[in-house]
Chain A
Amino acid sequence: MTNMGKCMQGYLDEQFMELEELQDDANPNFVEEVSALYFKDSARLINNIDQALERGSFDFNRLDSYMHQFKGSSTSIGASKVKAECTTFREYCRAGNAEGCLRTFQQLKKEHSTLRKKLEHYFQARQ
C-alpha cells in the first residue's frame, strides 16, 4: 500500500487499491465519492441498529439483515476491520447472543469512526 503508508494498514485491504486503480484524469475523485457514499450509508445503518438495540427487544433477523448490508458496503470499499466486526456481530445474531451483539457493535462503531478520520486525512492530503 505505497500510497497510504502505515496508518492505513489493517484498516483497508486490496479492494481499496482496486478502487484507486479505477480513477483517472476524467474521474479523479472516484474513491472519495465512493467513500462519501459509504459513510452516508453506514451512518444510516448505525443509526438503525442503535435504535433497534436501544429498544431492548432483540430482533436478531432484522439486526442480521442490517449487518448484511453493512458488511456488503464495507467489503466494497475495502474496510477490512469494520467488515470483520460485521462478521462477528452476525455470528452473535445467529447464536442469539444479545450481549455479544452489543459488545461487538461498540467495537464496530470505534473502528468505523477511526476509519472515517483516517480517510478524511488521506483525502485532504491528496488535495
Chain B
Amino acid sequence: MAEVLLPRKMEIPNDPSKFGSPDLLHVLAVDDSHVDRKFIERLLRVSSCKVTVVDSATRALQYLGLGVEEKSVGFQDLKVNLIMTDYSMPGMTGYELLKKIKESSAFRQVPVVIMSSENILPRIDRCLEEGAEDFLLKPVKLSDVERLRDSLMKVEDLSFTKSTQKRELETENAYPVHSQLKRAKI
C-alpha cells in the first residue's frame, strides 16, 4: 500500500472560500450514500479543493442549471472544474449523468470521474467511451484525488504554491472574508 503523505505543515482549509482564492479547484461530488458523501467531501477538502456535494444525479443537474426547467440566467458564472459521481444511484445513474453532461454545451468540457465499488470491465469501458475522464474503484484513495487535482491544476494553469503565497499576502493585508471568486464564462 502506498504511503499516504499528508501536508502536515500546510493548512488544511475547512472552508477554502474564506481564503478568497480563485485558484482552488471546485469539485461537484455526487453520491446517494451519506457515508460516501462525507468521505469524498473530506478527501477533497484535505486536497485543498472547494467542494459541493449532492445526493443524486437529478440534484447535480439542477445545481448545474441543466434541470428540467433550464434557466440560462445566473449559471454562466458557475465554475465547476471536476465532477465526481458514483455509478450506481437510484433514479438516474452516474453513467446517465455523464451522458447528460457531455450533451450540454455549457459543461461538456468539464471532466467527469465515475466512482464504483464494482470492478466491471464492460462498465468501465462504457464510461470511458462516453467521455469519462477516469474510473475510480471505491473506496477512493487520497492519492486518487491528489492525482486528479494535480493533473487538473496543470490543465487549468493553476499553481498551488502561487495560491498559498497569495493566501499569505491576503491574510497580511486583511482582505475581506468573502472575496469574489473569479467569474469565468464557460
Q: A: which residues have CB within 8 A of B?
A: 14-15, 18-19, 21-22, 24, 26-27, 30, 33-34, 37-38, 40-41, 68-69, 71-73, 75-77
- Interface status of B109 (Cβ within 8 A of chain A): no
Residues of B within 8 A of A72 (CB): 33, 35-36, 117, 138
Contact A75 B34 (CB under 8 A): no
User: What DSSP secondary structure best describes chain A's contact surface?
Assistant: helix
| B88 cross-chain contacts in A, Cβ below 8 A | 68
Q: A14-B1, A41-B35 are in contact. Are A75 and B117 (CB under 8 A)?
A: yes
State the Cβ distance, A55 to closest chain B Cβ, in Å.
Answer: 21
Identify 7 residue pairs between A and B in the complex whose beta-carbon atoms are under 8 Å apart, listed by A's number: A18-B139, A22-B43, A34-B35, A34-B38, A38-B35, A71-B117, A72-B138
Report B's interface with A, CB cutoff 8 A: 1, 4, 6, 12, 14, 33-36, 38-39, 42-43, 46, 88, 117, 138-139, 141-142
Chain B residues with Cβ below 8 Å from A26 are 12, 14
Q: Chain A nearest CB: distance from B32 CB in Å?
A: 8
Contacts of B36 in A (CB 8 A): 72-73, 76
State how many angstroms separate the Cβ of B97 from the closest Cβ of chain A: 18
B141 surroundings in chain A (CB, below 8 A): 18
Q: Do B4 and A21 touch across chains, with their CB atoms under 8 A apart?
A: yes
Known contacts A30-B42, A75-B117: does B35 contact A15 (CB below 8 Å)?
no
A73-B42 contact, Cβ under 8 Å, with A18-B141, A21-B142: no
Contacts of B117 in A (CB 8 A): 68, 71-72, 75
Given A41-B33, A75-B138, A19–B12 Cβ distance below 8 Å?
A: no
Asked if residues A73 and B38 are in contact (CB atoms below 8 Å), the reply is no
Interface centre among B35, B39, B46, B141, by most chain A C-beta atoms within 10 angstroms, is B35
Chain B residues within an 8 Å CB radius of A71: 117
The 10 closest A-B pairs by CB, nearest first: A73-B35, A76-B35, A37-B35, A22-B42, A38-B35, A37-B34, A21-B4, A72-B117, A15-B139, A76-B139
* Contacting pair A41 B14 (CB below 8 A): no
Q: Is the CB of A76 within 8 A of B39?
A: yes
In contact, A76 and B33 (Cβ under 8 angstroms):
yes
Cα separation A72 to B34 with both chains bound (whole Å): 11
CB distance from B167 to the nearest CB of A (A): 16
Taken together as a complex, chains A and B put the C-alpha atoms of A116 and B73 apart, in Å, by 49
Residues of A within 8 A of B6 (CB): 21, 24
Closest beta carbon of chain A to B116's beta carbon, Å = 10
Smallest Cβ distance from B16 to chain A, in angstroms?
Answer: 13
State the CA gap A71–B36 with chains docked (Å).
12
